[in-house]
Structure 1
Amino acid sequence: MSDARSNWSSKIGFILAATGSAVGLGAIWKFPYMAGANGGSAFILPFIAMVLFFGVILIMAEMIIGRAGRGSVVTSFKRIAGKAWIPLGFIGVLTAFVIMTYYSTVGGWCLTYLFEAIRGNAASSDLALLEKTFKLTVSSPVSAIVYQTGFLAITAGVLIFGVNKGIERISKILMPLLFVLMVVLIIRGLTLPGAMEGLKFLFSPRWDQVTANSLLNAMGFTFFSLSVGMGIMITYGSYIHHSEDIPSSAIWVAVLAFISSILAGLMVIPPVIAFGLNPSAGPGLTFITMPAVFSHIPLGNVFAV
């Protein structure tokens, strides 16, 4: 088998790129309202257990398949297991495509807010106005399609430069920047009056809300937040050098993804409680809460950008 496929130029580059795939919307957009709706730490504790006990194993398995197959999920399955497994590979591709349709939709929302931030309109303490703005953002078909197309174009622009000069290079910049910005926003959010109640809400277990459905949500979020089960890590793993230590890389990806989720909860839930919002309000929670936090910090519009 020819092994002319390029490799990640560094271990840290691969870990940050894989973490970027794993974190994304799963941590910042979905985790806060999932935790809020499913019992706080009564949701977080099963999530931690699932990440550690089978999330890491699934990441390792997909990385190993990718490194052995040296190709996409379809190619790797074909080379390792034969043509009979090709349909399963295509199911992974289809799953990733379906996920991309709504990832790019939410990415379009982010672009909308980016341009509003550039215009100085992304920081406000008027919660009613923020809720109205979000509803208008998601209900305008022309605007949604335009910004979604813009988001896809940016994504394609990164991919054109390939693994090393595209994905890896931008991950080395954006992932550390993401963590820095989250920490800044967490510090400010925790100093808001009433924010400590948010910490209690996030970390105090409400065992009465633990149901079969909440555990199923924790399991689903584990797959969602780690980007496993759809072939993404197989494709990323196909660029891993044969001498790479896969177990340590998988553990780093899982741990960073988990830390990102907790940081997102700390970033969103305390301000939500402080502002009197519903912590289980759904996907719009982050888009309503963060502009309110920006309005309470110096250079809020700069942080909004």
Structure 2
Amino acid sequence: MAVTPTGTHAHWSSRFAFIMAAVGSAVGLGNLWRFPFMTGQNGGSAFVLIYIGCVILFALPVLMAEIAIGRHAQQSAISSTRKMALEAGKSGNWSIVGWVCTAAGFLILTTYSVIAGQVMAFSVAGFAGGFGTDEGATMFYNGQGIQLFWHVLFMGLTVGIVAQGLKGGIERVATLLMPLFFVVLLGLTIYSLVNGHAAEAVAYLFRPDFSAVSGQTFVQALGQAFFSVSVASAIMITYGSYLSKDANIGSSSLTIASADTLVALVAGLMIFPIVFMVGIDPGEGLGLIFSALPAVFADMPAGNIIGGSFFALALIAAVTSSISLLEGVVAFVDEHANFGRAQTAVLVGFFAFMIGAGAVYSPEFGGNFVDWLSGSLLLPLGGFLVAVFAGWVIPKALLRDELSHTGKGLFEFFHFAVRWIVPPAIFVILALGLDAQFNNGAIGAMLGLS
């Protein structure tokens, strides 16, 4: 027998609040950390073009579908997909769509908090003058015990915000931090372009070189598009459930996807001029952010202030994203239990913290495997299921009614995409990605089997 949700949802106080929260969710470490190093590892501008294509063709239609599903059902991702399936005369087992997305978001949060804790540590290190010492910022994050401390601190901050509810916590933080984020981002980008190798960075980002493109590039670009735009992780269904009926989902989705993509590109213009100025390999991965850049900041005039500001910028992005990841799970538990929001946030946050702690002590399994499971498997799978659900299960007339403010051309593109473009493309890319991972033994290595 199905459990009936007992909780009720609040609503955003304004469209601005929704946009700030949704953009804050989309604009996270995926833009400032993951996007630059994935660009470096996949041939620079060729990856950027493929990524933008994935956002337009795949992430945007799924984003519109998720917001529409959430607003119509006014429940969490799991409950919303079940409710809409039953309304369409289909099996309630279609709630599997919500379960996969919620699981992806929860697993992302577990390791996201560990990385965000490191960002917090490096921000403190910068402002405290740590970039100018021999050990640099690493002395603030050296040892598993210290890493666990920052993980606790960041997860506690996330739980504390979500525990305050929609308007008192999530909305208030998003509307305060996101404008500050854009101001700091603009300032750091101008500084980088003026003082670094701007021309080389622009060429790297915007001059295509498809010789470095492989099948795996498309897999990573798709995963990055979903990861960055915050689709297939229960976030946008949940945030959509708080949206008023007079809001234009089409234009809001375009604003969210455009702002997220723009920030990712600007982040490249912020990081790469400095990277090329000092001759760092842009494909260094995490070392680009946590090893190479702190050393660069140490040798720059006012480097501690610039470096501290850079990591503070990343911290703002991490906070606005982490609260959305936690909210997606808390909303569901809150519907079906009588713990109260604060207790629910603490409970879910504790379990996320424990898995993240495993990543601290076992990076190969906890970090690499969980990151692969969430980012390369569950996110694409969730996107595939959302598209199938929106394109083939939910009646077109219902979607058109929910997207009544959306222009006919955009709606027809959306509906055609979720039926005929997104599912087959994601299926092929997902299959190629799994085949590559199994054939090169990567999955076995992550699990300690090879």
When normalised by structure 1's length, the TM-score is 0.90
Partner of 1:156: 159
Task: For residues 140-193 of structure 1, give each alpha carbon's deviation from its aligned partner in whole angstroms, at most 9, with x where no partner exists.
Answer: 211111110110100011112211121111111211211111111111212235
Within a 5 Å distance, the mapping from 1:232-271 to structure 2 comes to 232-271=235-274
Partner of 1:170: 173
Helix, strand or coil for the counterpart of 2:27? helix
Helix, strand or coil for the counterpart of 2:245? coil
Residues 294, 301 of structure 1: 8 Å contact kept: no
Residues 241/207 of structure 1: CA separation in 2 closer, same or farther (3 Å cut): same
Helix, strand or coil for the counterpart of 1:242? coil
Partner of 1:43: 47
Helix, strand or coil for the counterpart of 2:246? coil
Q: Does 1:104 align with 2:109?
A: no
Which 5+ residue runs of structure 2 have no aligned equivalent? 87-91, 310-450
- The separation in 2 between residues aligned to 1:148 and 1:2, in whole angstroms, is 32
Residues 51, 222 of structure 2: 8 Å contact kept: yes
- The separation in 1 between residues aligned to 2:117 and 2:8, in whole angstroms, is 36
Q: Does 1:147 align with 2:150?
A: yes
Comparing 221-230 with 285-294, greater Cα deviation is found at 285-294
Which 5+ residue runs of structure 1 have no aligned equivalent? none
User: Which of the residues 6, 14, 33 maps onto 2:18?
Assistant: 14
Within a 5 Å distance, the mapping from 1:69-80 to structure 2 comes to 69-80=73-84
Question: For residue 74 of structure 2, what is the amino acid of its counterpart?
Answer: R
Comparing 236-245 with 74-83, greater Cα deviation is found at 74-83
Question: For residue 46 of structure 1, what is the amino acid of its counterpart?
Answer: I
Question: For residue 262 of structure 1, what is the amino acid of its counterpart?
Answer: L
Question: For residue 60 of structure 1, what is the amino acid of its counterpart?
Answer: M
Helix, strand or coil for the counterpart of 1:237? helix
User: Which of the residues 212, 221, 234 maps onto 2:215?
Assistant: 212
Question: For residue 212 of structure 1, what is the amino acid of its counterpart?
Answer: G
Residues 189, 293 of structure 1: 8 Å contact kept: no
Structure number with bigger Rg = 2
- The separation in 2 between residues aligned to 1:74 and 1:171, in whole angstroms, is 24
How many residues matched? Answer: 299
User: Which of the residues 123, 147, 163 maps onto 1:114?
Assistant: 123
- The separation in 2 between residues aligned to 1:103 and 1:96, in whole angstroms, is 10
Helix, strand or coil for the counterpart of 1:284? helix
Partner of 2:290: 287
User: Which of the residues 223, 226, 230 maps onto 2:229?
Assistant: 226
Question: For residue 296 of structure 1, what is the amino acid of its counterpart?
Answer: M
Question: For residue 62 of structure 1, what is the amino acid of its counterpart?
Answer: E
Task: For residues 268-287 of structure 1, give each alpha carbon's deviation from its aligned partner in whole angstroms, at most 9, with x where no partner exists.
Answer: 11111111111000023123
Residues 193/71 of structure 1: CA separation in 2 closer, same or farther (3 Å cut): closer
- What percentage of residue pairs aligned between the two structures are identical? 34
Residues 71, 240 of structure 2: 8 Å contact kept: yes
In the TM superposition, what is the alpha-carbon distance from 1:118 to its structure 2 partner? 3.9
Q: Does 1:53 align with 2:57?
A: yes
Residues 196, 273 of structure 2: 8 Å contact kept: no
Comparing 279-288 with 9-18, greater Cα deviation is found at 279-288
Residues 95/13 of structure 1: CA separation in 2 closer, same or farther (3 Å cut): same
In the TM superposition, what is the alpha-carbon distance from 1:91 to its structure 2 partner? 2.2
Residues 120/77 of structure 1: CA separation in 2 closer, same or farther (3 Å cut): same
Question: For residue 188 of structure 1, what is the amino acid of its counterpart?
Answer: Y
- The separation in 2 between residues aligned to 1:194 and 1:15, in whole angstroms, is 34
In the TM superposition, what is the alpha-carbon distance from 1:98 to its structure 2 partner? 0.9
- The separation in 1 between residues aligned to 2:17 and 2:293, in whole angstroms, is 29
- The separation in 1 between residues aligned to 2:83 and 2:231, in whole angstroms, is 20
Question: For residue 6 of structure 1, what is the amino acid of its counterpart?
Answer: A
Partner of 1:93: 102
Task: For residues 183-204 of structure 1, give each alpha carbon's deviation from its aligned partner in whole angstroms, at most 9, with x where no partner exists.
Answer: 1111121223544323222222
Question: For residue 97 of structure 1, what is the amino acid of its counterpart?
Answer: F
Q: RCO (CA 8 Å, sep 6+): is it higher in 1 or 2?
A: 1
- The separation in 2 between residues aligned to 1:257 and 1:243, in whole angstroms, is 24
Residues 87/56 of structure 1: CA separation in 2 closer, same or farther (3 Å cut): closer
In the TM superposition, what is the alpha-carbon distance from 1:296 to its structure 2 partner? 2.9
Residues 88/139 of structure 1: CA separation in 2 closer, same or farther (3 Å cut): farther
Residues 297, 306 of structure 2: 8 Å contact kept: no
Question: For residue 158 of structure 1, what is the amino acid of its counterpart?
Answer: I
- The separation in 2 between residues aligned to 1:137 and 1:244, in whole angstroms, is 45
User: Which of the residues 27, 30, 35 maps onto 1:26?
Assistant: 30
- The separation in 1 between residues aligned to 2:42 and 2:96, in whole angstroms, is 35
Partner of 2:433: none
- The separation in 2 between residues aligned to 1:275 and 1:250, in whole angstroms, is 38
- The separation in 2 between residues aligned to 1:189 and 1:140, in whole angstroms, is 32
Q: Does 1:64 align with 2:64?
A: no
- The separation in 1 between residues aligned to 2:300 and 2:249, in whole angstroms, is 43
In the TM superposition, what is the alpha-carbon distance from 1:238 to its structure 2 partner? 0.7
Residues 44, 209 of structure 2: 8 Å contact kept: yes
Residues 196, 276 of structure 2: 8 Å contact kept: no
